[in-house]
Amino acid sequence: MEPLPHDAERVASFLLGAKRILFITGAGLSADSGMPTYRGVGGLYGDVPVREGLTIEDMLSGYMMRTNPSLVWEYLSHLAEAFNAAEPNQGHRVIAEMEAEFESVWVLTQNVDGLHRRAGSTNIIDIHGDIHGLACLKCAFEQRQVILANLKIPPKCPQCGEILRPTAVLFGEMLAEGKVAELQNQIFRGFDVVFSVGTSSLFPYITQPVTVLGQRGAKTIEINPAITELSNLVDVKMNARAASSLDAIWRAYRQRQKAS
């Protein structure tokens, strides 16, 4: 068996005796499941062309969904195959397995792909929603766990005939108040260890948990090949991919458990 990275050993030492752990995850974790490259503010997909004169932010905006929902779905239909084919990777599975090991493990994710839930995680704050849910623009109809590739585009509400929208947060839209409140509640309760995994850390609601909890004494780790505004603030910066790093940390933790 190949030796574990030194950083993985150090992070594993943080987990010994920890009770509450927070994972903040972004595009870098889903990329290890073969999801398309993200682009633009907010971490939405940018591997397919948009119409002339329109940006991705225009195409996937709340305004466009209200004024021209068919155009939004035309773009989303290009992504359906990738969403349908993606499976949770070892990083997702490690996070889910940790729920059985520690008192409380929470996931704050920017990703809309639902892979954390499919891997078995239960304490999830999907701050940008889930692309696999549908909601009517007119009535109260909602549907969860939809396979996008099976939809007739644009999807219509079976109750009123209006075009449905994805339950993911689009550009220009507010975050769900309930999810923001849950995040603040969990930050108030505190965490012993905080991971930032595969996120560019562009938004205050992503950086705040790391900085605030770090100031309170939590051990903080960033896993990201790129440099972000958190890189110089965390206790450990791992310049590596998400899934392989989480796997190495988990193996190092298991080895320490056996040795103790």
Please check the confidence at residue 4 and state whether its pLDDT lies above 90. Answer: no
80 and 143 inside one domain = yes
> 153 and 178, same structural domain?
no
Q: Is residue 197 part of a domain?
A: yes
Domain membership of residue 220 (yes or no) is yes
- Give tens-digit pLDDT for 141-175: 999 888 887 888 899 999 999 999 999 999 899 99
Question: Residue written as tokens 């490690």?
Answer: 94
Q: What pLDDT, on a 0 to 100 scale, did the predictor assign at position 37?
A: 53
**pLDDT of 1 above 50:** no
Confidence of residue 84 (pLDDT cuts 50, 70, 90): confident
Instruction: Tell me, yes or no, whether 76 and 186 share the same domain.
Output: no
Comparing 235 with 49, the larger pLDDT belongs to 235
Supply the mean pLDDT for the chain: 89
In a domain, 69, yes or no: yes
81 within some domain = yes
Query: At residue 207, does pLDDT exceed 70?
Result: yes
Same domain for 81 and 93, yes or no, is no
Indicate if 63 and 156 belong to the same structural domain: yes
Rounded CA gap, 35 and 39, in Å? Answer: 12
| 78, part of any domain | yes
The answer to whether the beta carbons of residues 218 and 191 sit under 8 Å apart is: yes
* pLDDT value of position 77: 80
The model's confidence at residue 254, banded by pLDDT at 50, 70 and 90, is very high
Answer yes or no: do 189 and 120 share one domain.
Answer: yes
Q: What is the CATH number of the domain that holds 246?
A: 3.40.50.1220
Q: Cβ distance 29 to 91 under 8 Å?
A: yes
Residues 115 and 185 occupy one common structural domain: yes
Inform me whether the pLDDT recorded for 105 exceeds 80: yes
Residue 21 pLDDT greater than 70, yes or no: yes
Q: Are residues 239 and 206 in the same domain?
A: yes
DSSP letter at 19 equals: -
The arithmetic mean of pLDDT across residues 186-191, rounded, is 97
- The residue among 12, 18, 8 whose CA lies nearest residue 192 is 18
Whether 216 contacts 190, CB under 8 Å: yes
The listed range with the strongest mean pLDDT (39-43, 73-77, 216-220) is 216-220
Residue 98 sits in the same domain as residue 20 = yes
Structural domain span for residue 198 = 6-35+86-131+172-259
User: Which pLDDT does position 44 carry in this prediction?
Assistant: 46
Q: Same structural domain for residues 11 and 24?
A: yes
pLDDT value, residue 145: 83
Question: What CATH number is associated with residue 54?
Answer: 3.30.1600.10
Sign of CA dihedral 209, 109, 42, 139: negative
| Domain edge (last residue) among 122, 144, 166 | 166
Q: Which tens digits make up the pLDDT trace of 22-70?
A: 999 998 999 888 886 554 333 445 555 556 677 778 888 999 999 999 8
State how far the Cα of 185 lies from the Cα of 199, in Å rounded to an integer: 22
- Which range (32-46, 52-66, 86-100, 188-202) has the least confidence? 32-46
- Residue 94 shares a structural domain with residue 126: yes
pLDDT at 48: 52
78/157 same-domain check:
yes
Q: Is the pLDDT of residue 247 over 60?
A: yes
pLDDT of residue 76: 84
Does residue 1 lie within any of the structural domains?
Answer: no
Predicted pLDDT of residue 90: 97
Q: How many domains does the chain have?
A: 2
Which residues are annotated as catalytic? 128
